[in-house]
Amino acid sequence: MPTRAMSKPRKILYFINDLFGGGAQKGLVNILDVNFFEETELHVAAISRGDGCIKADLLRHLPASQVHVFTASEKMHLSHLLKAFLLYPLLLLKLRPRLVIMSLPQANIVGRFWGHILPITRLYAFEHTTSYAKKGYAYILTALSLSVRGIIMDTQTTGTETTRFFLPFKKYQIINLPLYTGALDSAYIKQGTAIKGKPTLLIAGRLTTAKNHINLFHALKLLATSGQPCHLNIAGSGELSDMLEAEVKKLGLQQHVTFLGYLSPWTTECAKADIYIQPSLREGLCITVVEAMRHGLPVIASPRGGMLDYGVDGENILFADPDSPEAIANAISKLVQDDKLRKKLAENAITSMESRFGTVALRQKLAAARAALKA
């Protein structure tokens, strides 16, 4: 009796800017870690290599033949974007994926543009931030959004605020897909909130303008000048590495700042720190803040993006105006001097993150997102 041939797994193309160790890229690794794309043939395409930090993580899940990098450069230039405009449609025609998920602005521009010319697949725009560094992106992405079928959002705030970058007369499928997947190592959980000696601050993430390191450095300078020195550990890599190191020297903060480089996982530093700080100018979910809160660190952050969804000022997080070094310095000083507040924030952070990002809650959200993409 003849047997029925097994059907081939459906192909999905995940198109992203680069392979830096940023939140959007790390989020992709997170959902691969929980087999979100099981029973599919996933391909990942990047416009440029970046520093390649997450490539090894991708290759834990995918064969090298399913990771496509258009240019080997660390920094993305206009020529690389033009090259992507030429290579992306060739890859699209070769793979003919059932759907494409476009992550970050440049990948969205290329993907949406070709979506109008080669409407052979379903396009989903993954939104990770509530605003763009370059205003021109918003106009271009809005104009090209007719080719998009659905919007994937990592938090409710991200989804709500980015709808203005899509055409108001078109109905888009909305999918909630949190990029934090509940990974928690008990060895890295912060034990107690007492500060011994010089306070240690920690920030993690890609070294970009959006992370606002410059204002944080100026806040550290204010604290050091006023006799409240702190030490800042920076976990992450990125295109601004040299510039940020030069700024530290310019401000005379060499004894107060340590660049740790890219760490995987960066949460190995959580148990050693006293306070986690994230004064970002723009954010989506902000995986690093979620991870810091899950690991029991009192957190100072910006009232931006997804942090407004899960953060309650003075209860499980302390908000500070990212545009003001003085406000950042005041928040650090307040938290350093108030052990009861640190304890309150840390305990409430663990509890609130468990209810929102614990295993049960995440399993339900991931299952719903997987079903929506199959529809």
- What does pTM read for this prediction? 0.87
- The radius of gyration of the chain's CA atoms, rounded to the nearest angstrom, is 21
Q: How far apart are CA 327 and CA 253, in angstroms?
A: 19
Q: Residues 287-314: what's their mean pLDDT?
A: 95
Q: How far apart are CA 332 and CA 33, in angstroms?
A: 34
Q: So what's the pLDDT on residue 55?
A: 94
Please indicate whether the domains covering 10-182+359-374 and 186-357 agree at the CATH topology level.
Answer: yes
CB 320 within 8 A of CB 300: yes
Q: So what's the pLDDT on residue 182?
A: 67
Longest dimension (CA), the chain: 85
Q: Which two tokens stand for residue 73?
A: 């450069």
Q: Which of 86-100, 126-140, 182-196 has the lowest mean pLDDT?
A: 126-140
Q: Which CATH superfamily does the domain covering 10-182+359-374 fall into?
A: Glycogen Phosphorylase B; (3.40.50.2000)
Q: How far apart are CA 137 and CA 211, in angstroms?
A: 19
Q: Which of 64-68, 248-252, 305-309 has the lowest mean pLDDT?
A: 305-309
Burial of 184 (0-12, 13-18, 19+ CB in 10 A): middle
In the structure, what pLDDT confidence band is assigned to residue 3 with cuts at 50, 70 and 90? very low
Strand ranges in the chain using DSSP code E only, listed in sequence order: 10-16, 40-48, 67-71, 99-103, 122-127, 150-153, 173-176, 200-204, 231-235, 257-261, 275-278, 299-301, 318-319
In the structure, what pLDDT confidence band is assigned to residue 1 with cuts at 50, 70 and 90? very low
In the structure, what pLDDT confidence band is assigned to residue 2 with cuts at 50, 70 and 90? very low
> Residue written as tokens 């605020």?
161
Q: How far apart are CA 85 and CA 70, in angstroms?
A: 10
Q: How far apart are CA 49 and CA 74, in angstroms?
A: 6
CB count in 10 Å sphere of residue 333: 17
According to the CATH classification, is domain 186-357 in 3.20.20.370? no
| Residue ranges per structural domain of the chain | 10-182+359-374, 186-357
Q: So what's the pLDDT on residue 43?
A: 99
Q: So what's the pLDDT on residue 146?
A: 96
pLDDT tens digits for 122-167?
A: 999 998 877 776 778 889 999 999 999 999 998 888 878 888 889 9
The mean pLDDT value of the chain amounts to 92
Q: How far apart are CA 324 and CA 326, in angstroms?
A: 5
Judged against a pLDDT cut of 90, whether residue 375 lies above it is answered with no
Q: Residues 274-300: what's their mean pLDDT?
A: 95
Q: State the DSSP string of 31-100.
A: HHHTTTTTTEEEEEEEEE-TT-TTHHHHHTTS-GGGEEEEE--SS--HHHHHHHHHHHHHHHHHH--SEE
Residue 59 Cα distances to 42, 43, 45, 67, 315, angstroms = 12, 11, 13, 8, 40
pLDDT tens digits for 328-351?
A: 999 999 999 999 999 999 999 999
In the structure, what pLDDT confidence band is assigned to residue 115 with cuts at 50, 70 and 90? very high
pLDDT tens digits for 230-242?
A: 999 999 998 899 9
CB 121 within 8 A of CB 99: yes
Q: Is the dihedral of CA 348, 266, 218, 18 positive or negative?
A: negative
Would you say how long the chain is, in residues?
375
Q: So what's the pLDDT on residue 5?
A: 46
Q: Which two tokens stand for residue 88?
A: 């992306």
Q: Which two tokens stand for residue 337?
A: 């001097």
Q: So what's the pLDDT on residue 197?
A: 93
Residue 326 Cα distances to 38, 131, 145, 304, 345, angstroms = 48, 24, 40, 18, 22
Q: How far apart are CA 131 and CA 369, in angstroms?
A: 24
Q: 129 or 67: whose pLDDT is higher?
A: 67
pLDDT tens digits for 166-181?
A: 999 999 999 999 887 6
pLDDT more than 90, % of the chain: 75
Report which DSSP code applies to 171: -
In the structure, what pLDDT confidence band is assigned to residue 88 with cuts at 50, 70 and 90? very high
Q: So what's the pLDDT on residue 364?
A: 87
CB 338 within 8 A of CB 225: no
> Residue written as tokens 């520093």?
51
Q: Residues 181-196: what's their mean pLDDT?
A: 84
Q: So what's the pLDDT on residue 316?
A: 98
Q: Which two tokens stand for residue 8?
A: 């081939």
